[in-house]
Amino acid sequence: MITVKEAKTKKEIKQFIKFSFELYKDCPYWIPPIISDEMENFDATKNPAFAHADAKFYLAYRNNKIVGKTAVIINWQEVEMQQKKKVRFGWFDVIDDIEVTKALLEKVYEFGKANNMEYVEGPIGFSNLDKVGVLTDGFDKMGTAITWYNYSYYSEHLEKLGFVKEKEYLESIFSFDNVNVESFKKAARLIKKRYELTPLNFKSTNEVMPYVDKMFDLFNASYDKLSSFVAVSEVQKEYFKKKYVGLINPEYIKFVQDKNKKLVAFSIVMPSFAEALKKANGKLFPFGFLHLLKAKKNSKDVVFYLIGIDPEYQNKGVTAIIFEEYHKIFLKNKIRNCIRTPELEDNYAMQNLWKNFSPEVHKRRRTYRKDL
């Protein structure tokens, strides 16, 4: 018999987080999160996402043993501003038993119906900056710090329970050795001259901080037209600034400004923390933070996390400036591989940015939908 209970106490939330550690303990491709970060993420007093979202966390038990989990979320900003009556589910992990999946999803339907939602979509988090999607291809590839990994049976369970594909995401990788620098160096010179643009480079996190709010404003403007986009709030800006900016090698943050010092483009590349997080195994202390610091400085793989262009400058080749600046620093740091985070399959403008890099699609993932 399967029993599903809501995780409410700190002890239960920690059990919610640690179930994934047990499920994937023998999997070489799963990347463990930092447990304290996850605890904070699920704490309504600390995560500003709760200012416009409701969430519940459920654990499935069989014979007093945890066999599955899911978070159930309603982002009220999305519901009210986009008129999308959607209940989300995320942080979804289960053993290979469709009855467990079914029991957990019943809680998702229940929460959605109680709040007059019309459909379910998942796996997704609170916002666009959270992890997204069920992995459907690339199960033998290492995950990243900013994606979920899952076993192949997840999509089978969902499809058997009546879910259909909602969004498809691609993840690509390319070798830095294959980059044809001449393809964008000449363009960068022309674009800088034509539009009077200047790249901004940084050597310390303190140098970056004065620009971060402007970056989030530009992020909101850049992605506003995407169907599922929810803007980053002022409170979230402060939260992300304190929590994440310090983890990024400042050399990997690139901005472009116009002659009036207005920010018109940005890009964030993260050092790959995958191997460091495997070694940390969920704990910052006593040695986890040392592995992360080492990866921040010395990782030879990088993850392209975010890129944003002011709508006024889109399709004007501004990315050539960004790529030229990255080429310089990647050459200096002897970067081997560049990994792209999930991008919507139909985001052709984004895919076009990378055409000269010969990227290989090495993973696919999707979110699933079901009407209530």
Three-state secondary structure string covering the chain: CEEEEECCCHHHHHHHHHHHHHHCCCCCCCCCCCHHHHHHHCCCCCCHHHHCEEEEEEEEEECCEEEEEEEEEEEHHHHHHHCCCEEEEEEEEECCCHHHHHHHHHHHHHHHHHCCCCEEEECECCCCCCCECEEEECCCCCCCCCCCCCCCHHHHHHHHCCCEEEEEEEEEEEEHHHCCCHHHHHHHHHHHHHHCCEEECCCCHHHHHHHHHHHHHHHHHHHCCCCCCCCCCHHHHHHHHHHHHHHCCHHHEEEEECCCCCEEEEEEEEECCHHHHHHHCCCCCCCHHHHHHHHHHHCCEEEEEEEEECHHHCCCCCHHHHHHHHHHHHHHHCCCEEEECCEECCCHHHHHHCHHHCCEEEEEEEEEEEEC
Interior CA angle at 289 toward 285 and 295, to 5°? 150
Give pTM, 2 decimals. Answer: 0.92
Q: How many CB atoms lie within 10 A of CB 44?
A: 12
Closest CA to 20 of 10, 30, 5, 11: 30
Beta bridge partners of 135: 365
Per-residue pLDDT of the chain (372 residues; tens, 9 = 90+): 999 999 999 999 999 999 999 999 999 999 999 999 999 999 999 999 999 999 999 999 999 999 999 999 999 999 998 889 999 999 999 999 999 999 999 999 999 999 999 999 999 999 878 999 999 999 999 999 999 999 999 999 999 999 999 999 999 998 887 777 777 788 889 999 999 999 999 999 999 999 999 999 998 888 777 666 777 888 888 888 888 888 888 999 999 999 999 999 999 999 999 999 999 999 998 888 899 989 988 999 999 988 889 999 988 889 889 989 998 999 899 999 999 989 889 877 777 777 777 889 999 999 999 999
Residue intervals in the chain for CATH 3.40.630.30: 2-171, 174-364
CATH number of 2-171: 3.40.630.30
Q: Does residue 170 come out as left (phi exceeding 0), alpha (psi in the -120 to 50 range) or beta? A: beta
Instruction: Answer whether CATH 3.40.30.10 is correct for domain 174-364.
Output: no
Rounded Cα distance between 319 and 230, Å, is: 24
